[in-house]
Amino acid sequence: MEQTLSIIKPDGVNQGLIGEVIKRFEAKGIRIAAMKMLQMTKKQAQGFYAVHRERPFFESLTDFMTSGPVVAMVLEGENVIEKNRSLMGATNYKEAEEGTIRRDFATDIEKNVVHGSDSPETAAFEISYFFNQFELVS
């Protein structure tokens, strides 16, 4: 059984999309193993996106991610990393397939509503960044 980290970003929370995003996960048979709402500090966002620290969008991205509350979730299911990525759609919502979360609700390449881990290694790092073992319900 695979796990992945999902985040509903500040723009998603602001647009009132918490329920909509969770509904899409549940409709696909994805199980929620943990969930919390929090507002990231700048340091926390910089650490989370450390792989992107040399990218031109890093400063703006980490400002955006700290601009309001987010909902972090551990999703569980068969092939859930890929399943979640395909529900999310491409990073750039203009290139995302119809019916994906980003195509339906993103307003900008940065403000694209959701985050999802992109590999088992990333998922392990990202889950432990927000949750300890006692916060996961199996």
Interacting partner of 91 out of ligand UDP, Mg ion, none (Cβ under 5 to 8 A depending on kind): ligand UDP
Distances in Å between the alpha carbon of 56 and those of 11, 28, 61, 67, 123? 21, 35, 9, 19, 24
Identify the active-site residue in 76, 106, 115, 117: 115
Q: Which of 3, 4, 84, 112 binds ligand UDP (CB under 6 A)?
A: 112
52 a catalytic residue: no
- List the structure tokens of 119: 């590999």
Among Mg ion, ligand UDP, none, partner that 84 touches (CB below 5 to 8 angstroms by kind): none
Look-up: residue for tokens 């620290």? 53
Closest CA to 6 of 107, 110, 111, 83: 83
Residue span 84-103 as binding mask against ligand UDP, x where in contact by CB under 6 A, dash where not: -------x------------
Residues that bind Mg ion (CB under 5 A): 118
